[in-house]
Amino acid sequence: LLLGEVDIAVHSMKDLPTTLESGLSLGCVLERGTIEDAVVLSAKHKNSSMIKSLATLPAGSVLGTSALRRRAVLLRNFPDLVVKDVRGNLQTRLRKLDDDDDGNKDKIKYDALILARTGLQRCKLEHRISEVLDCDKYGHAVSQGALAVVCRSSDGLAMQLLRGLNHIPTRLRVTAERALLRTLEGGCKVPIAVTSAYNESKSQLRLKGWVVSLDGKRMVEAEETHDGVPPSLELGLQMADKVGVSVGEALKKKGAEAILIECRGTTLNFEAPTKK
């Protein structure tokens, strides 16, 4: 993009840095897909009349996820279950879940996977979903379900064309969520969960955030609802950013910083020692 070889780039906004590289701008944010996490049970449970959700899995059941956020939230809500790492693209993860070969004793046998609902839907795999997790209880990743289009800041034509593709409610929500993440100096390597809602008729934005220790034993949360957030790309975005900063600061005051320091193994404001 910076080399001029392409004019726009489409990203999963969840994976987009909160601060873009110099020379790049966020041209638009498309209407958000579903934001929840979903449970995909293994075949041995899928056909069971007794097991339909995480709450009905037997103690010691193994859940697969690659996200620290999901790991922390799952351990907090289901301490009797075991959470293991699972890697690969969506199809690879599902293959690992479905593989019932007993020949390899070292292979992890998963009872369920926790995946983004929107990813399953976009891959036409919604039929695999056994349970959709409530966002107000479990949260989701910052910007989960949203697609962003990035262009060069100097490309006035691209900026003008993309501006009209913005879905304003989505852009306001993800702006607030990303501001919270930026305030906490977080990223995909720390267990931060959010959920948000925007009422366009009332110009009202709600944002809730959680920070959970990796073992799930400690958690802080903060939630705020702000009126006066207009559905616009000027004042609306400014106000949404302030909402995110406000909730982020509230989480810090409640002890989020200590949890994040522990997760990173260093301080948020670390300064390298001066050489003598």
Residues 32 and 135: beta-carbon distance below 8 Å: no
Query: Could you say which of 7, 15, 102, 134 is catalytic?
Result: 15
**How many angstroms separate the Cα of 132 from the Cα of each of 41, 176, 261?**
12, 24, 31
Rounded to whole angstroms, how far apart are CA atoms 71 and 67? 6
DSSP state of 88: S
- Structure token pair of residue 64: 């697969």
Closest by Cα among 191, 255, 215 to 78: 215
SS3 2: coil
Residues 62 and 82: beta-carbon distance below 8 Å: yes
What are the start-end ranges of the H helices in the chain?
43-46, 68-77, 90-98, 117-122, 135-138, 156-163, 168-183, 235-253, 256-264
Return the CA Rg of the chain.
20
Query: Does the annotation mark 100 as catalytic?
Result: no
- Structure token pair of residue 232: 């616009």
Q: Please list the active-site residues.
A: 15
